[in-house]
Amino acid sequence: MSAQQLCDFLRDSRGFAHKRDISDIVTALGAALPGGSAALAQAVPVGDDCAAIPDGQGGYLLLAIEGLVEDFITRMPWFAGYCSVMVNVSDIYAMGGRPTAVVNALWSHGMDPAGAMLQGMARASQTYGVPIVGGHSNNRSERPQLAVAILGQAQALLTSFNATPGDKLVMAVDLRGAFEEPFPYWNASTTAPATRLRGDLELLPRLAEDGVCDAAKDISMAGAVGTAMMLLECSQVGAVIDVDAIPRPNGVPLQRWLAAFPSYGFVLSVRTEHLGEVLTRFAVRDIACSVVGDVTATREVHLRHAGGQAMLWDFAEDAFIGEAAGVAA
């Protein structure tokens, strides 16, 4: 597969489609608010893994929410419940924070599959040390649905808005897992020791607090490249990404891995003077971590693969998750 064919594959992927929906929502909300798009600006603008609200003491309260797709809940209710907590925890750490508590909103037709979802949530709550402190339930719904929200705190932020031309793009992924077939979820969590999982996540706020990184995002349904694109778009920069340098499990085809949603995976934009320190910290904990690209001053994302290069996206021409042109400021 050529670099151009790989670009075409990613543009047509389900993960990219889900993330592109964000642009429609942001555009509609900006148009509906009295202050226009300017009213969308919060402590951290739309596009980060969490909303960050200054706490008045030099730190931040972090708020995030995740909803799960129905086919996942129906086919794997226990793992869906587990993931609903896990992905929220990851969002908090991706911002340089530490989680405080979660709440849920659950709809089901009786206790099947509600019971399995709650068991999965309870297991993840224990594993990551994050209590479930409340929620909303409806056991008389025709279709199962699940959303979980989380509260956390941060002393120093990692955000999607701090990537700078000249930075190195770094990806860190826990490869000690397996796919939850037939879904694209790479599970390196449910069979791992809780102490190791918590220690691996603690790397992120330590990077922020020690001043060696200030730009990061956790890898989501958009996959490794799509997540990098979200970070780049928010920072109003571009990049050349070498997809062959992305850490990948042995035996997993490149296309499948680029569409994967890992339980532990982060994209970071790192100043060159801190690069060695960042790579070493992940390596010490046996997290696969590599430089995968260079941040540029353009608004274009180019992919390198198999000796070739092609343009994947031009943010100046087409928003990915950002607000479409034409909304009043």
Name the E strands within 206-305: 216-218, 238-242, 261-262, 265-270, 288-296, 300-305
The CA distances from residue 189 to 157, 166, 225, 247, in Å, are 25, 34, 22, 18
Residue ranges of alpha helices (H) inside 38-110 are 70-75, 77-94
Question: What mean pLDDT value characterizes the chain?
Answer: 91
Confidence of residue 31 (pLDDT cuts 50, 70, 90): confident
Mean pLDDT highest for which of 19-23, 51-55, 118-122, 134-138?
118-122
pLDDT digits (tens, 9 = 90+) for 176-196: 999 999 889 999 999 999 999
Q: Encoding tokens for residue 269? A: 């934009």
> What pLDDT is stored for residue 120 in this prediction?
96
pLDDT digits (tens, 9 = 90+) for 142-159: 888 899 999 999 999 999
Q: Classify strands 216-218 and 265-270 as parallel, antiparallel or unpaired.
A: antiparallel
Query: How far is residue 233's CA from residue 319's CA, in Å, rounded to a whole number?
Result: 8
pLDDT digits (tens, 9 = 90+) for 196-236: 999 999 999 999 999 999 999 999 889 999 999 999 999 99
Q: What is the CA angle 109-111-112, rounded to 5?
A: 70
More reliable by pLDDT, 327 or 95: 95
Q: Encoding tokens for residue 29? A: 């909300």
> What pLDDT is stored for residue 324 in this prediction?
55
> What pLDDT is stored for residue 43 in this prediction?
42
Q: What pTM was estimated for this model as a whole?
A: 0.93
> What pLDDT is stored for residue 255 in this prediction?
95
Q: Encoding tokens for residue 266? A: 């982060």
Confidence of residue 34 (pLDDT cuts 50, 70, 90): confident
> What pLDDT is stored for residue 44 in this prediction?
46
- The alpha carbon of residue 126 and the mean position of all alpha carbons in its chain are separated, in whole angstroms, by 22
> Does residue 21 have a pLDDT over 80?
no
The CA distances from residue 301 to 10, 129, 229, 296, 310, in Å, are 12, 38, 7, 9, 9
Tell me the CATH number of domain 51-154, given options 3.40.50.620, 3.40.50.10420, 3.30.70.2200, 3.30.1330.10.
Answer: 3.30.1330.10
pLDDT digits (tens, 9 = 90+) for 226-264: 999 999 999 999 999 999 999 999 999 999 999 999 999
The predicted model gives 83-109 an average pLDDT of: 96
> Domain-by-domain residue ranges, the chain?
3-41+159-314, 51-154
Domain 3-41+159-314 sits in which CATH superfamily? PurM-like C-terminal domain (3.90.650.10)
pLDDT digits (tens, 9 = 90+) for 60-81: 999 999 998 888 899 999 999 9
Q: Pick the closest to residue 96 from 223, 208, 234 (CA basis).
A: 208
State which amino acid sits at residue 156.
Answer: A
